[in-house]
Amino acid sequence: MIFVNQIVQGVLLGGYYALIACGLSFMFSVMRIINLAHGSLAILAAYALFVLADRFDVSPFLGLIAVAPAMALIGAGLQRAVLERSARGGLLVPVLSTFGLSIVIDNLLFQQFGADTRSLAPYIGDLSYDSWPITDDIAIGKLAALTMATAIALLGGIQLFLNHTQLGRMIRATAEDSDTVGLVGVNARRVNALAAAIAMATVAISGAFLAMRATFNPYAGALQLIFAFEAAVIGGAGSLWGTLLGGIVLGVAQSLGASVSPQGFFLAGHGVFLLALFLRLYFGGFGLRLRRVVRGQA
């Protein structure tokens, strides 16, 4: 029975991983860039929400109304100032420049907020610990359920947006061939900036949920990037729903690993990632691939 509980909690944890991986794989699919500052930007959003809650008594959910658009603007700016230039330099430059950016963000946050770990849990009342008991052993936390619901809503929303709106079609076309879309009157630069803005808005949301369910510090971004990457690689089966599946696999593996040994949480997570990678590389047709999530829609 204890394992059933571990699996249930793991699935719910997977909701958070799907949230944080969603922006990473969306950006990769549109712009072919893996943004190494992804995790650091999520932590930046978490600190912004923390400041709003701590200094101005703004609830994190209300705070997101301001922070998500602000992060979207940062995303568009980032695309114009850094990513676009990097992408022209080949495969090498985006990795180097976004890693440099993550160092800058992490250390500026440390400069501003110090090494203290923070959390948004005190600002959301009993949501942080309330749960619905299912059986004697199993209880579903309300916050974890909300995280999962948000992940499903966000992934579904992006999918609908990509499939059924003019802008969504433009993003898909740009991902397919950014030179040719110019011929039919699409401004690829603007579309990429929009895609980066959407990705960063999802980063703001995932930062909020990270900060509500756990603690964070200025250097927590690296681990979030790794989790996001692992979830995206495990589940990137060609659709955004693959990201959700990848998040759940990662969460369940970590949760089961943690029940075996204290180190097991991370070991099992990295282990399942390497297993998925191995399967994909040696049995490529398996479809486990961090690839064009957007193209998979077509």
Partner 1 sequence: MSALPVLVVERWTPESRIALAVAALAAVVLTFGPLWLGANSVDRLTTLFIYVILAVTWNALVGYCGLVSIGQQAFFGLGAYFAVRLADSGVSVYPSLFLAAIIVGALSLPLSAMMLRLKGGEFAIGMWVIAELAHLLVNLDTLINGETGTSLISLNAYATDERRALTYWCAFAAMAGLLAVVFFLLRGPTGAAIQAIRDNEQAAESIGVRVTRAKRIVFVLAAFGAALAGALWVATAVTFQPKTYFSPQWTAYMIFMALVGGLGTFEGAILGAVVFFAIEAWFGGAGVWYLVGLGAAALVFALALPRGLWGWVEDKTALRLLPVGYRVRFLGERAVASAPPSDKSGT
Which residues of this protein are in contact with partner 1, per CB under 8 A?
Answer: 28, 33-34, 36, 82, 85-86, 89, 91-97, 99-104, 106-108, 110-111, 222, 225-226, 229-230, 233, 263, 266-267, 270-271, 273-274, 277-278, 281, 290
- Least distance between partner 1 and beta carbon 168 (Å): 24
User: Rounded to the nearest whole angstrom, what is the least distance from the CB of residue 111 to partner 1 in the complex?
Assistant: 5
Cα-based distances in Å from 84 to 69, 78, 229: 21, 8, 21
Please give the structure tokens belonging to residue 70: 């602000």
Q: Which is nearer to partner 1, 163 or 263 (CB)?
A: 263
The minimum distance between CB 3 and partner 1, in angstroms, equals 23
Within 10 A of 59 (CB to CB), how many other CB atoms are there? 14
Of 124 and 253, which CB lies nearer to partner 1 in the complex structure? Answer: 253
Cβ proximity to partner 1: between 92 and 184 the closer is 92
Taking each helix axis as running N to C, give the angle between helix 2-31 and helix 38-56, from 0 to 180 degrees, rounded to the nearest 10: 110
Closest CB 89 distance from partner 1, rounded Å: 6
The answer for residues whose C-beta is within 8 angstroms of residue 23's C-beta and 6 or more apart is 38, 198, 199, 200, 202, 203, 206, 228
Helix, coil or strand: residue 116: coil
Comparing CB distances to partner 1, the nearer of 88 and 164 is: 88
The whole-angstrom separation of Cα 215 and Cα 132 is: 23
Min dist. Cβ of residue 102 to partner 1 (A): 7
Dist. CA 37–CA 29, nearest whole Å: 17
Nearest alpha carbon to residue 42 among 62, 17, 65, 59: 17
Judged by CB, which is closer to partner 1: 107, or 215? 107
Q: For residues 132 and 278, which CB has a smaller minimum distance to partner 1 in the complex?
A: 278
Say how far apart CA 297 and CA 173 lie, in whole Å: 11
Among the residues of 32-141, which ranges form H helices?
38-56, 60-78, 84-88, 92-113
Name the minimum Å distance from CB 74 to partner 1: 15
Residue with tokens 């089961």: 256
Would you say 91 or 298 has its CB closer to partner 1? 91
- In the complex, least distance from residue 229 CB atom to partner 1, rounded to whole angstroms: 5
Q: Are 75 and 200 in contact (CB under 8 A)?
A: yes
